[in-house]
Structure formats: C-alpha cells, structure tokens
Structure 1
Amino acid sequence: MPRPKLLAACTAIMVPALALSGCGVLGIGKAPADLQIYTARHYDLEGAFGQFTEETGISVEFITGDDAELLERLKAEGSDTPADVFMTVDAGNLWNAARQDVLAPTSSAALDEAVPEDLRDPEGQWYGLAMRARTLTYNPDNVDPAEFDAEESYAGLADPKWNGRLCMRDATSSYTQSLVASLIDLHGRDRALEIVEGWMANNVDIMSNDVLLLEAIDAGACDVGINNHYYLARTLEENPDLSVDLYWASQEGAGTHVNISGAGIVADSDNAAQAQQLIEWLATTGQNAFVDANHEFPVNPAAEPEPVIAEFGEFERMPLNAEAYGDLNAEAIDVLAEAGYK
C-alpha cells in the first residue's frame, strides 16, 4: 500500500545538512509512489525506472545523495524509514551497508542466476547491477601498447620508463581507493605501497576527475592514465577523433580491476516483495535499460554490452572481493597517504 511518509521523505531531501539532491516520481500518476529508493547512483535513472513502471504498474520515487549520508540516514530512520531499496556505486559501500544491518537477506533464484557469485552478497543482502572497469588509457601517438606490462599492468606503471608520462585520479576518489584496496588484497600492503610509491616517483600528474584526465592524454600533456571505461566511451561519443585508446590491464595476470553499482532491499522496507521485483527486473529484463545509457557493462552474462563499449573488445576481469574493497579501504587511504599520493 502507498505510504504517506513517502512524501515527507521527498521533502526531507532538501534539508541542507543531509546534502541530498534530486527527487523523481515515476509511474501511474499517483502519489506517493509504491517504491522509495535511496540512491547514490545518479546516472540516467529516470529511463530505467520509467520503463519498469510501464511494464509492471509499480511507481517509483527516488532521492539521490552521497553514499555515506544515505547510509547514515537509513540508520537514523530505523523502522520509520520510507526507503525500500538502497542503491550505491561501490562494492565496498554495499559490503559496509550489509555489515551495518540496514539491508535484508534475500532469496532469489532469478538474481542468483543473473548475477555472478562474486558480484553479489552470499546472503543476498545486495546484488551488483552494473559493472565498470578501471583500466589503462593511452595516447596511441605516443605509446606502443607493447610497452605495457601484460601481467601486472597497474604495477607496471611504476617502471621508470613512465616518468613524467602518467596522469591519475586524486586520492579522495573512491575509484582510486578501491583500486589500491584491490592491490593490497592481491599483493599485500608492502607491495601495494611499493607500487604507489613507484607511481609517485614517476612524477604522476594527479587530477580531480576522469574527464580532465582523458583530455590531458588527448592533448599530449601525459601519455597514460587509469580511467573508468565509460568515461572514455562518453568522450568518444562526443569526439570520435579523440586520440585516446584503451588497454585492458593485466590480461596475462589477475585481470582488469572492476567495481559495481548495486542494490539491496532495506531491512525495514514495508514493500520488500515489490523491492525484490525491481532489483530482479534491473538484473534481467531491464539490465540494458539500466546500464546502456552510461556505457556500463551488464553484470548479467546474458545481456550484450551496448555498441560503443562492445568496440573495446572482451576482457578478463579481476574477481571482485567486496569485503576487501570495504574492509581495506582505510588501509588503502593510509597507503596513499604514506606514499605522498594526494
């Protein structure tokens, strides 16, 4: 049944202290909506949720905000929360939400079939829905891809031959932190620190976002960077002549680092059945509606990548360890700080 408290939640997002933004109601013209979603993912949600409503008649309302703020809001609201689904953009954040008991264990044969085992919680508290790869990008006018270490591509950028040729994201980026956490999980802390120190010894140019990084590579300000693949796909759509190519990292080793956006049912949801129906739809029938507009990879192996990223070719991915991304996040931040990585 629709719940009056949903309208209050929509109004509450304007409270400055919460730093939340955005509110959408999609569907069959009634308010409040059937499902309320708290989401740190903000990429083209209206299209996917609108299609879900058209197919099922279940209306959706969502608010957007920072991962940590939304999680704290869920904990503060407790059993009074209007939220039915929590959606976030990093495996470590999903693991952390499950650890803090705000998500409900779910049993779903459809989700178990659609989502690979390492991209979902063993107890069904969350499921990956969209996948991004963080890999090497380079200017083909200045770099022969044979220069890259095919076994340990991320570590290979610590080689002195890359001195003065690297651009990377800042230490506050969750992308950087999760990548370093995966290196700690893969190699141990000491080796991960050695790798990051090697990047710094190569006078890496640290930038505040992936788009600036791609523009710098295109302009020849640096030769190589580490990017989420979909930023390159977006930029190529706008500028097909962009002088940046993608190299799938560590294909002869552990594979390319990936992360996910995903969702779980809020433990205190009053609409758990419909919330599960939405998550199942996003992972199956609605998989391409959810991922294609942002050029992300589907988690469901049965879904085809959209044409722009399909052109990047197939790749072997590093198995995702959500617990490591979450539990090792603080250590990753410490490694970055110790190496002087800003």
Structure 2
Amino acid sequence: MTRHDGSAGRRAFLVGSAALGTAGLAGCLGLIGSEDDDGENVFGQIGSGREGRPEPGGTPVEELPDLEGELTVYSGRSEFLVGSLVNDLEEYYDDFSIDPRYGDSADLVNQISQEGSGTPADVFYTVDAAALGQLADNGQARSLSDDLLEMVRSEFRTDQWIGTSGRARTIPYNTDALSESDMLDSIDAYATDFDGDLGWAPSYGSCQSFVTAMRLLEGEDATREWLQGVVDAGITEYGGEYEVCDAVNNGEIDAGLTNHYYIQRVRDGSDDASIAAAFTEGDAGSVFDVAGAAVTDAADDPDLAENFVRHLLSSQAQEYFATSTFEYPLISGVEPVGDLPTIDELDVPDLDLAQLSDRQPAIDLMREVGINT
C-alpha cells in the first residue's frame, strides 16, 4: 500500500467496464449466501467454486483450532452480508454454538458500555475501524494474542482489534455521462472543479469516517470549506451508499462518494451496468478502512473468542469476503474480485485508522453547513 507523503502521486486507478472479468458471478442476491454452486458449506471446502477463481491461499480452517463452546457475538455487520457465514461456521463444528446479535455499530458499542462487566458480548464484530476504536477507547477490548495479530499487516490492527476485510473509498461515476479524463485526482477538487452532479450518504458511518479523515488530514477550516462547497454545488443526499451507486448507474447523478464494493454489487446485479470507479490520490477520498473484530474484556472464554476471530481470517472466510461481499481480503493469497488495484497499489493517506473512532467533530462540522446526519 502506498502511503502518500506529499510528493506527486501516480495517476488514479479506474475500474472499467470489465470490472468483474472472469469471476463468473451470478447476481448480487444470489452471491450473498452460505453455499457455493455445489451446495457446500463455505467452511467445508477450500476452493471458491466459482469459475475463474484460483484456490485461495492463507490458512485453511482445517489448520485452525476447533471451536468448542458457546459464543455471543455483537455484530455491526448486517445479517444479510455475514449471517450465512456465521451460520456455516456454527454448522461446521458439532460442539460450537453462536448467538449473533445484529445491530447498528454505534448502538452496540453503547450497549456494551452500558452493560459493563455484565455484557454477554464475547466478540464485537463490526463494519469499520471507528467503532472498533471506540470500544477500545472505552477500555472494553482485550489485548489480542501476537499470533492472531500477525495474521494481517500492522496498519490493519491495533493491540485491541484486528481487521478482517477492507474497503477503499472511491468515486463511482456514470460511464455514459463521463469518461476517465473527467475524473479528478484530488478529493478537494470535487467541491469546486467537478463538472457534474454528485451524490453521497452523509448519515452512513463510512461517509462520516471519510469526513473525519479529511478533518484529521486537512484541519477543520479546510474541511468546513469543502463541505460548504459540495452543499453549494447541490450534492444529493441518499440513505445508503448502495443507493448512491444505483443512482449513478441509472444516470440520476453523474458521480458519488462511496466505498468500492457497492460499485461491484451494482455491476454484478446488472447485465449492462454504466458505472465505474475512480480513486483519488493520497487524500481522504482514498482512505482504506477495515471491518474487523475485538474480544471484549468480559468474554467468558477469551481463547474461544480469539479462535472465532481467527476463523474470520481463514482462507475460506477471506474468499467469502472477496466473492460475496466484494471486499478486499486482508490475508496474502486471496485476491479481490474485479479489476481493482491491489492494496499495495492504492495511494492512501498516511493516517492511523484508530484515529477515526472520534466521528463527532466531523458530524458537528457537517451539521454546521446544513447536512443531514
């Protein structure tokens, strides 16, 4: 991964019309499920079962410690995206049962805080580093074992939490309205120099983390000016980032601000998609964030909780994230789906993801200029 140091960055990568290549993926709704094309449990087979996908690398579940006992997982990741993976893991082990409790990430952090030492949560599994950082800041996340932490690169973990899959901030654009040359290399320029209609989802956590990153990188005054600029330019608000990408694909807006995987989901659900993705260079518009997990300080069996997290980093789970949720796998040997830059090729800003935990100042700035959060 290229950490931007202020020097002239390389040209932004663009995901073109052949984004899904030979992955042979069916439809978005058909993909996000617990079984491959042969009806096998995700953890019961090592291959992806999809045409064009090589056998994943990394550590297969067969080489991990067996899961035995009962585990309660508070999940800020939706059941629609990860429920089948969790169910498959429970079915794979005869003596293992899991109680997943799905909800909003911020609400779950607050719930764990209110429950204190009596919380039933053994593991907190969530969508971004901000929520993980908040749990750690509250002093309710245990330090993880070194061998678990070493499963991913240092920039995707702290002592108290570890990333399990990644997402890059992108600029999805409508290919009927815009060409590669119309896309800008700097997120700042989209507030003043972009010739088109923008959309975003300012109430969505990842969008707020993006604004948080801008505040940390450029300061409050510059961030406020940027926010005022996109408001003045008439940016359209949506409830979620999939909706933004769908609006881009339909020509309702020309471009948007989203995580990369929503573009892949729109493309996979359309035979004639009109959407591609641009990446800015070394700024808040190119932040690479992670979904991840932490073991709570109240976990009844910390070893079982850690081993559950290890399974999220197994070959099979990482292949699931690549082919079913379209995220970046975080282990070596499993590639993302689509014509995407690798993690090393992304030109990301020099930013500690743990700093994204405090989103309130960014939310306050957004509200100052009249943005609904």
User: Any idea what SS the aligned residue of 1:178 has?
Assistant: helix
Q: Say which structure is richer in helix.
A: 1
Alignment partner of 1:176 is 2:220: no
Indicate if the aligned counterparts of 1:281 and 1:287 stay in contact, CA closer than 8 A. no
Q: Write the deviation string for residues 129-166 of structure 1: whole angstroms up to 9, x where unpaired.
A: 1111221011112212222332x2x212012443x521
How much does 1:303 deviate? 2.2
Alignment partner of 1:269 is 2:299: yes
Indicate the residue corresponding to 2:144 in structure 1.
106
Give, as a single letter, the amino acid of the residue that structure 2 aligns with 1:157.
Answer: Y
Indicate the residue corresponding to 1:312 in structure 2.
340
Alignment partner of 1:237 is 2:237: no
Alignment partner of 1:137 is 2:175: no
Give, as a single letter, the amino acid of the residue that structure 2 aligns with 1:284.
Answer: S
Indicate the residue corresponding to 1:14 in structure 2.
none
**C-alpha distance in structure 2 between counterparts of 1:141 and 1:317, whole Å:** 27
Give, as a single letter, the amino acid of the residue that structure 2 aligns with 1:133.
Answer: A
**C-alpha distance in structure 2 between counterparts of 1:71 and 1:219, whole Å:** 36
Determine which of 115, 128, 138 is the counterpart of 2:152.
115
User: Any idea what SS the aligned residue of 2:294 has?
Assistant: strand
What is the correspondence of 1:187-336 to structure 2 with a 5 Å cutoff?
Answer: 187-250=218-281, 256-285=286-315, 286-290=317-321, 292-305=323-336, 309-314=337-342, 315-318=345-348, 319-327=350-358, 329-336=359-366
Q: Write the deviation string for residues 234-281 of structure 1: whole angstroms up to 9, x where unpaired.
A: 111111312111112226x67722222111111111111011111112
Indicate if the aligned counterparts of 1:40 and 1:67 stay in contact, CA closer than 8 A. yes
Determine which of 102, 112, 136 is the counterpart of 1:74.
112
Indicate if the aligned counterparts of 1:132 and 1:229 stay in contact, CA closer than 8 A. yes
Indicate the residue corresponding to 1:9 in structure 2.
none
- Identity percentage of aligned residues: 27
User: TM-score by structure 1 length?
Assistant: 0.80
**C-alpha distance in structure 1 between counterparts of 2:115 and 2:194, whole Å:** 53
**C-alpha distance in structure 2 between counterparts of 1:317 and 1:270, whole Å:** 41
User: Any idea what SS the aligned residue of 2:274 has?
Assistant: coil
Structure 2 residue runs of 5 or longer lacking an equivalent are 1-42, 44-67
Indicate the residue corresponding to 1:86 in structure 2.
124
What is the correspondence of 1:8-27 to structure 2 with a 5 Å cutoff?
Answer: none
How much does 1:49 deviate? 2.6
Indicate if the aligned counterparts of 1:255 and 1:316 stay in contact, CA closer than 8 A. no
Indicate if the aligned counterparts of 1:255 and 1:317 stay in contact, CA closer than 8 A. no
Higher relative contact order (CA 8 A, sep 6+): 2
Cα gap change, 1:131 to 1:275, in 2 (>3 Å): same
Which portions of structure 1, spanning 4 or more consecutive aligned residues, are displaced by more than 6 angstroms?
none
Structure 1 residue runs of 5 or longer lacking an equivalent are 1-26
After superposition, the CA RMSD in angstroms is 2.4
Give, as a single letter, the amino acid of the residue that structure 1 aligns with 2:340.
Answer: F
Indicate if the aligned counterparts of 1:149 and 1:250 stay in contact, CA closer than 8 A. no
**C-alpha distance in structure 2 between counterparts of 1:186 and 1:107, whole Å:** 31
Give, as a single letter, the amino acid of the residue that structure 2 aligns with 1:159.
Answer: T
Paired residues, number: 300
Indicate the residue corresponding to 2:188 in structure 1.
155
Give, as a single letter, the amino acid of the residue that structure 2 aligns with 1:301.
Answer: S
**C-alpha distance in structure 1 between counterparts of 2:286 and 2:308, whole Å:** 30
User: TM-score by structure 2 length?
Assistant: 0.74
Give, as a single letter, the amino acid of the residue that structure 1 aligns with 2:73.
Answer: I
Indicate if the aligned counterparts of 1:139 and 1:217 stay in contact, CA closer than 8 A. yes
Cα gap change, 1:222 to 1:79, in 2 (>3 Å): closer
Q: Write the deviation string for residues 197-250 of structure 1: whole angstroms up to 9, x where unpaired.
A: 221221112222223322322232221111221111111111131211111222
Determine which of 41, 46, 60 is the counterpart of 2:77.
41
